[in-house]
């Protein structure tokens, strides 16, 4: 529970006995009671203390209560402080007018009725407590807003640094991958020449080993090409246009399972909503997802792969499902991480950047990716794109 703010009450009277009586009346309120025996002393207290209410005797030697009230009201800091005048003289219309004109909120006769005075003072102390609480809340909100602004500025700075670092890393990776292709091409080329030059000089086993070197070189060249394409995704700008997703998916299916591929699969492509994005990049998404579905379903008989899509709220959601080996659902977050594999290299080829490329392309379009599966019961890979074309950069 929030503690009550400290509240002060100023009692001004030239008679110590009257001040003692006021203390007895107001002590049950539990507030700080401050005494002053003259208008001058009261003004000194007002220099460094704000009061919830001032009880001011009208008739005092030297400076009257009316004069003291006028000075209190002349100071900006105490201009709105409530003043209750106390007087032992008969109330007259002129006296009351003079008191209210000086800024009094009430005018009570001595001896005061304790319950009435305490009740009136309590109202002003509660108002002061409420005002102080509100001021504290405003101060805390201002501090919170300043802290939020500071954190937002820091986050923006870090995001900028991260974006710059990512671009630098992409550039570095692309350079490394590009530089690797030249010696690889030479290795593959010289291996082919060596095979042709030694066709009658090497044994069958030696030719087999030489052929294996060339095959490994070709595989590595494909890996470098994939890596280079992945690295370039970060800096490649999007060329947005309407994309017929059904036609694109069907075309890629035909390319992946043509007569020369030796792959027999049952394909099902539903009507897919049109998308808006970079057709070249979205084509790569479909290639990666559909080729993955084929790869991980190749031991199924028959191979069944489905493509579905629909509008869901403000998203276009597409899905590629298969009846392949599936995966442990608890490992799903690893699927889209670069160079992360859930299956062994010996069982299924690849270097683990196909799905990470899908994620990178989809996120670049303002969408998201996820997957569902069970071990041995196939998998379903989803990606979404904004239904309303975003402003691409």
Residue 7 has what pLDDT?
Answer: 87
Residue 349 has what pLDDT?
Answer: 52
Structural domains present in the chain: 8-112 (3.40.50.2300), 160-232 (1.10.287), 240-386 (3.30.565.10)
Residue 245 has what pLDDT?
Answer: 94
- DSSP-assigned states of every residue in 47-98: TT---SEEEEES--SSS-HHHHHHHHHHSGGGTT--EEEEESSPP-HHHHHH
Residue 11 has what pLDDT?
Answer: 93
Backbone phi, then psi, for 375, in 5-degree steps? -60, 125
* Tokens 């044994």 sit on residue: 203
Tell me the whole-structure pTM to 2 decimals: 0.50
Sort 214 into a burial class: Cβ within 10 Å, 0-12 / 13-18 / 19+.
Answer: middle
DSSP annotation of 260 reads G
Residue 173 has what pLDDT?
Answer: 66
- CA geometry: angle at 188 spanning 186 and 189, to 5°? 65
Residue 340 has what pLDDT?
Answer: 53
Residue 105 has what pLDDT?
Answer: 79
In the chain (393 residues long), the average pLDDT of successive 10-residue segments reads 69 92 92 92 91 90 87 86 82 66 78 89 89 87 89 86 71 69 79 80 82 79 68 71 93 79 78 92 92 86 91 94 83 66 48 78 91 85 87 53
Residue 343 has what pLDDT?
Answer: 47
Q: Give the three-class secondary structure for 15.
A: coil
Residue 344 has what pLDDT?
Answer: 43
Q: Across the beta sheet with 315-322, what order do the strands follow?
A: 265-269, 303-312, 315-322, 379-386, 368-373
Residue 1 has what pLDDT?
Answer: 44
């Amino acid at each position: 529970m929030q503690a009550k703010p400290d509240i002060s009450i100023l009692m001004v009277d030239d008679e110590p006995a009257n001040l003692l009586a006021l203390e007895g009346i107001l002590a049950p309120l539990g507030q700080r009671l401050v005494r002053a025996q003259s208008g001058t002393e009261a003004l000194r207290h007002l220099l460094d203390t704000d009061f919830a209410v001032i009880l001011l005797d009208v008739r005092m030697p030297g400076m009257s209560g009316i004069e003291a009230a006028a000075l209190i009201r002349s100071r900006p800091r105490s201009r709105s402080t409530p003043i209750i005048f106390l007087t032992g003289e008969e109330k007259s219309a002129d006296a009351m007018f003079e008191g209210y004109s000086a800024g009094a909120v009430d005018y009570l006769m001595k001896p005061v009725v304790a319950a009435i005075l305490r009740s009136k003072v309590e109202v002003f102390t509660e108002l002061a407590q409420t005002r102080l609480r509100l001021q504290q809340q405003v101060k805390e909100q201002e501090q919170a807003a300043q802290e939020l602004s500071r954190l937002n500025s820091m986050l923006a700075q870090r995001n900028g640094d991260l974006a710059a670092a990512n671009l630098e890393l992409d550039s570095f990776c692309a350079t490394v991958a590009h530089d690797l292709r030249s010696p690889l091409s030479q290795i593959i080329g010289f291996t082919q020449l060596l095979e042709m030059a030694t066709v009658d000089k090497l044994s069958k086993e030696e030719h087999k080993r030489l052929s294996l070197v060339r095959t490994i070189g070709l595989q590595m060249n494909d890996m470098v090409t994939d890596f280079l394409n992945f690295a370039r995704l970060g800096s490649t700008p999007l060329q947005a246009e309407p994309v017929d997703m059904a036609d694109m998916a069907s075309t890629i299916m035909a390319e992946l399972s043509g007569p020369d591929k030796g792959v027999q699969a049952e394909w099902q492509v539903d009507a897919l909503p049109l998308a808006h994005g970079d057709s070249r990049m979205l084509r790569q998404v479909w290639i990666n997802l559909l080729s993955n579905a084929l790869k991980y379903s190749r031991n199924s008989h028959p191979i069944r792969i489905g493509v579905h899509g629909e509008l869901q709220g403000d998203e276009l959601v597409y899905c590629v499902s298969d009846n392949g080996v599936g995966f442990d659902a608890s490992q799903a977050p690893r699927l889209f991480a670069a160079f992360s594999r859930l299956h062994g290299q010996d069982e299924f080829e690849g270097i683990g950047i196909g799905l990470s490329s899908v994620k990178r392309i989809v996120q670049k379009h303002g969408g998201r990716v996820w997957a569902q599966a069970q071990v041995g019961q196939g998998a379903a890979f989803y990606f979404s794109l904004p239904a309303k074309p975003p402003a691409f950069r």
